[in-house]
Chain A
Amino acid sequence: MSATIDIRFRLNGVDTEVSVPATMSALEMLRDRLDLTGTKYACGEGECGACTISVDGVTVNSCLMFAADCDGRELMTIEGLAASSVGEALRASFTRNGAVQCGFCTPGIMMQAHSVLQKHGSCEPADLKRTIEGNLCRCTGYVKIIDSMAEACVAADEGA
């Protein structure tokens, strides 16, 4: 077992301290140490996007990030997003538009969708498709995910 490192960061708005092995990924830390199981393991090599979280406002594949690199950063997971008003709006949009089937990729895609809303980018479906090209979904065929993102995007623009 490798040496452990003490790290501190802000997680979903709460100051958090944890001691982690130097080789542990942020995904393992979230799931196995902090019981935040909303973030999913599906490939472990940054190809599917199921483990997407936000670090200092930027989405990352948490399977590719060392837990130790979270030190001093601001993290948000699906649990943090779900508790916010924008998360609530996204959840309503994903539900209403049928974007969720087995749901395993959904948290990662919601994190990516949230990042798109934060950036105030284009709400055009063609542009939205590109923003989730790193998120694999095996059930929905993506159509309803794009519909949901577009609806939430337009609503956020109108609200702004």
Chain B
Amino acid sequence: MGVALDITRGETLIGKRVPKMDAPEKASGKTRYIHDINLPGQLHAKILHAGVVHARIVSIDTSAARALPGVHAVITAADVPWQRPIGVAKDHLPLKTDRVRSPRDEIAAVAADSAEIAEAALNLIKVVYDPLPIVSSAEDALQPGAPLLHGEELAWTSPDGRREVLHAPSLDNVAMTFNYAQGDVTYGEAESDAVVEDVFWLHYVTHCCMGVSGVIAEFEANENLRLYSNTQVPFLHKREFAELLGIDPGRVRIIQPPIGGGFGSKLDIYPFEPIAIFLAKITRRPIKLVFTREEEFMASPTRQPVLLRLRSGCKRDGTLTFRTIDTLHDNGAYTSWGATTPFVMMQTFSSLYRVPHCQYRTRAVYTNNPYAGSFRGYGNLQATFAVEAHMDKLADAIGMDPLAFRFKNAQEPGEVTPQGMLFKSCGFKDCLETAALRSDYSRKHAEYRAKWHDGNPVKRGVGMASMLHVAGGAKIYPSDGCGTILKIDDFAHVTLITGASEIGQGSETVLAQLVCEELALPLSAVTVVNNDTDITPWDVGVHASRTTFIAGNSAIGAARKAKAKILAAASAKFELPVDRLELRAGHIVEKDSGNRFIEIGKLIRSLHFSDKAELVMTTHYYEPPSQHQDREFKGDVSAAYAWATQVVEVEVDTMTGIVRLLRVTGAHDVGRVLNRLGIEGQIEGGIVMGQGYATTEDLIVENGVVRNPSFRDYKLVTAPEIPEIDISFIETMDGEGPQGAKGVGEAPAICVAAAVANAIYNATGVRLYALPFTPENVYRALKQQARPPVWRVAP
């Protein structure tokens, strides 16, 4: 399935509505996700989760489970004394040794002939626990005398007997801190004419990938590990698993089947993956481990919940003066990427609008709650929620129109922010103008506000919010690059071998388009290989909205090298200078006249069959020109930045608290549209995900226990609930971007909740400081029965 292209007419695929290359296969039910793959001789594995929240493990008796027919292995921590801590802070053992810190904690695992037998065996394992006091919130974790969750060091002894301390004790339950400052907030506050301060609570939500987590682990005869995995970071995983086994990373091969959704949930290593590997090593059989939906809710990461205090000010003319931010992150029982979300949050605080003075203090603290990972937008939804509420409140305080207030403080191209970000391209003001114009924001904002007390119980409101996000990678690891291998065969068919993974976002189609653009070939001439670390070159993974930008530039680089090679061969063959030749519609032509010399395929065949045979096969590695931030978190961390403004129009039924989204008007600076169909789909999906965050989704956690681990009780937005969506693209043609494009994956989800909060205020005159806006929460707030979040955090 590909789009034919007549390049003789100067056609291009860039900006067109190009269907996803994998869509026909997926829509036929033929795509084999990890769930659909079964290897000969494979065993099925299940994990025994603790079920208790916080306890000492007194004893584990697996004898009855081991005796069950069909069971091949039962393992506990005692069976893998060489297991190594995993995750961002190396504070997490896959199988727990002496202590449980969360109900999802992995105690034992079974490999059996079928999932049913494995499940039955779990029920035969007897564990005796000695309960410990529960730390149920981040505030409680900081109280003097609070039980310590990781008060001991965590050491690891390698197979060759080397002892290594991987995690230092935390004597105050603080897992991670980030502190950032620019300017002098005391001075900024002193010159303010209006100051507001509020506390916000950003709740737990989770990814809800339609394809639950799963893995198949297998050892080859030479003890190399082969893993079929849904990971978004295959190359980082290679290293993690090699460390876990004490083997060379070159002996780990990761194959990624098509993935049933990622959204950041598959950015870290989780206990189920090492557990499958342990079982494969012990049984010497392939081990398939796939979660149930309940496990997916319980034992996969969440978005980072945050308690946030924001104080900000402005002058009478609308100039922002300062911001002071304190955040407290509920880290949960172990440290995953959620703890590092302040890294992105501070970017929004310091640089979404021009603000000279800004101070940010934060702690992520251990509790007995679920642990948080990365999730589309990575902290930015939380930060934007607070900042954009204050933009409305400050505008109100000085009697300025919220749009004009934003316009006054909006960033422009060329700006270098105090945090060191350089906005080479910046369509922020265009986003503000376009979204406001297309939604009729200013008129409606005034009109709805005038109707607060008109007696009609059903109110309407409009709310605006904007966002800034990295859009040219994010230099967090030593490299933020991506490699491409490009092979053109004797029929001019291109195999594009890229390090970047496809997780549903459509990257393989965009990469193929970029290559077609360079080589003047139709899309049907390109196959993308992106799923096997033994074949694909290095990439740092699918995150930070980086794939189109980084992998795109890498693919273009490889294609240009191939083009040069082909033109050089043609130049020699036809005795014409290279600069008079061009590729067009599968042919080599003379640039000025358009005269065709030869088909590309025929030329390549002549190379293969010549006495000095040669292949057209090129490689290219693209490393973005971004910087690592310094110890003060200053530096230009991305090669480009994306902007967006969204206006949400809502209807609030004040009798029931039901908030309906009527219309979302989004204006997105995407650099340049590469695939109009794909980018629309990304933005629509992101908006509806943001709608869920704002209105329906709530992972209810009580004393460490997830109370609603099912789609029956955790409400995703369904088709009849979606708003009308109006999207405009602001094309800033970013100089570094592939064909001018910038990353867009996370952007659409970021401002929805903030805009909805502003819209509810515009409709009712009541501001909500805690998510989600469920009917009950909204009703209580409208009736002034809601307890707003308070900051009672120990210093």
A residues engaging B (CB < 8 A)?
1, 31, 36-45, 47-48, 50, 77-79, 82, 87, 90-91, 94-107, 110, 126, 129-130, 132-146
Contacts and interface: CB of A to CB of B under 8 A. Distances in A.
Nearest to A37: B36
A80 B489 CA distance: 36
Contact of B29 (A77, A95, A96): A77
Q: Is the interface of A mostly helix, strand, loop or mixed?
A: loop
A87 B28 CA distance: 8
Given A130-B720, A132-B719, A40 B20 contact: no
A105 B719 CA distance: 13
Interface string B17-54: 10110111011111111011000000000000000000
Contacts of A40: 33, 35, 210-211, 260
Nearest to B20: A100
B92 to A, nearest CB: 26
A6 B258 CA distance: 35
Contact of B260 (A90, A99, A102): A102
Nearest to B678: A98
Contacts of A144: 677, 680-681, 684
Nearest to A101: B504
Interface stretch (B181-189, B393-401, B441-449, B685-693): B685-693
B211 A104 contact: yes
B318 interface: no
Given A98-B678, A106-B27, A143-B681, 5 more contacts: A45-B293, A79-B29, A98-B20, A105-B210, A129-B722
B1 interface: yes
B210 A142 contact: no
Given A38-B29, A42-B210, A102-B503, A95 B19 contact: yes
B712 A140 contact: no
B50 to A, nearest CB: 22
A36 B33 CA distance: 13
> Which of A31, A48, A96, A142 neighbours the largest number of chain B CB atoms within 10 Å of its CB?
A142
Interface in B184-217: 207-212
A98 B681 CA distance: 7
B243 to A, nearest CB: 30
B211 A94 contact: no
Interface of B: 1, 17, 19-20, 22-24, 26-33, 35-36, 116, 207-212, 258-263, 292-293, 503-506, 677-678, 680-681, 684-689, 710-712, 716, 718-720, 722, 725
Contact of A98 (B680, B686, B689, B719): B680
Give the top 10 A-B pairs by smallest Cβ distance, nearest first.
Answer: A38-B29, A102-B504, A103-B26, A78-B29, A104-B260, A141-B688, A141-B684, A37-B36, A47-B711, A104-B210
20 contacts: A41-B212, A42-B293, A43-B711, A78-B28, A82-B29, A90-B27, A94-B27, A98-B681, A100-B26, A100-B27, A104-B33, A104-B211, A107-B27, A107-B29, A110-B27, A110-B29, A133-B719, A139-B210, A142-B719, A144-B680
Given A48-B711, A138-B261, A91 B27 contact: yes
> Which of B208, B209, B260, B687 neighbours the largest number of chain A CB atoms within 10 Å of its CB?
B260
> Which of B30, B292, B718 neighbours the largest number of chain A CB atoms within 10 Å of its CB?
B718
A133 B718 CA distance: 5
A78 B30 CA distance: 9
Given A136-B711, A140-B681, A143-B725, A95 B23 contact: yes
A79 B23 CA distance: 15
B1 A95 contact: yes
Contacts of A38: 28-30
Contacts of A36: 29
Nearest to A93: B27
Contact of B685 (A45, A50, A101): A101
Contacts of B24: 91, 95
B19 A101 contact: no
> Which of A40, A82, A126 neighbours the largest number of chain B CB atoms within 10 Å of its CB?
A40
A82 B760 CA distance: 45
A98 B503 CA distance: 15
Contacts of A82: 27-30
Contacts of A96: 19
A89 B696 CA distance: 34
A97 B29 CA distance: 18
B263 A41 contact: no
A145 B504 contact: no
A103 B681 CA distance: 13
A43 B293 contact: yes
Contacts of B719: 129-130, 132-133, 135, 137, 142, 145-146
Given A47-B712, A138-B210, A143 B722 contact: yes
A104 B36 CA distance: 11
B208 A138 contact: yes
Nearest to A1: B116
A154 to B, nearest CB: 18
Nearest to A88: B28
A147 to B, nearest CB: 10
A101 B17 CA distance: 14
Given A44-B292, A50-B210, A130-B720, A139 B504 contact: yes
